[in-house]
Amino acid sequence: MKKKIGLVLSGCGVRDGSEIHEAVLALLAIDRNGAEAVCMAPDMELSEVNHLTMKETGAKRNVLVESARIARGTIRNIKDVRAADLDAIILPGGFGAVTNLCDFAAKGADAAIQPDVARLVREMAAAKKPIGAICIAPALIATLLGKEYAPSVTIGSDAGTAAAINQTGSKHVDCPVTEFVLDKEHKIVSTPAYMLATRISESATGIEKTVQAVLDLIQEPVGIR
């Protein structure tokens, strides 16, 4: 039976949702490894950004509806997904990860996490099921799990973001774009992607390795360090 890997999307577009390259590369890597992607997103509003001017338009869109563009319509409302439905979970980056799924972009270590996202990620952590996070998404994981688990994560090498992550109780580890950081104890894998990448191929290398590492963790018995 195929392993089911949840992909938590936050919209469609780097400035107001999921980073499309990162989401598609994760989908491709999941499929190439013989697993099944289960796309999901919260049903909530987002503030639209014009991706030609990179400025907010003042209009609103829906995160679930926009995420369905990336998922080709096959997507679930995250409130209906439980950890028991999945073998692992992966969160792509894009500003939506820190503006829609949480407000880390505005509040840093004091960020609040969207309730359905928080509930599912906490369920995965409690069940010792692997969690992957790409680009800026590790900031969400750090904020949510820092006090209880103090996981090691990476967003690359940005000093300001790294400092905010450390303030959550998590530990930031510098990492090159084509590699990943593995917290084996907590089964959390993260990679910088477009926090550092200047080419899609650089993001692809790190994301492919991250997805493989997440899948490898599914097989490991609880307690291995």
SS (H, E, C) 110-164: HCCECHHHHHHHHHHHHCCCCEEEECCHHHHHHHHHHHHHCCEECCCCCHHHHHH
Contact partners, residue 91, CB within 8 Å, separation at least 6: 7, 8, 97, 101, 131, 132, 133, 134, 137, 140, 141
CA atoms within 13 A on the CB side of 106: 8
For 90, phi and psi rounded to 5 degrees? -135, 135
Annotation says 12 is catalytic? no
Residue with tokens 């994760």: 26
Choosing from 12, 39, 135, 175, the catalytic residue is 135
Give the three-class secondary structure for 194.
Answer: helix
Q: Which of 139, 214, 136, 201 is nearest to 171 (CA)?
A: 139
User: Which residues does 72 contact at the CB level (< 8 Å), separation at least 6?
Assistant: none
Q: Which residues form the catalytic set?
A: 135
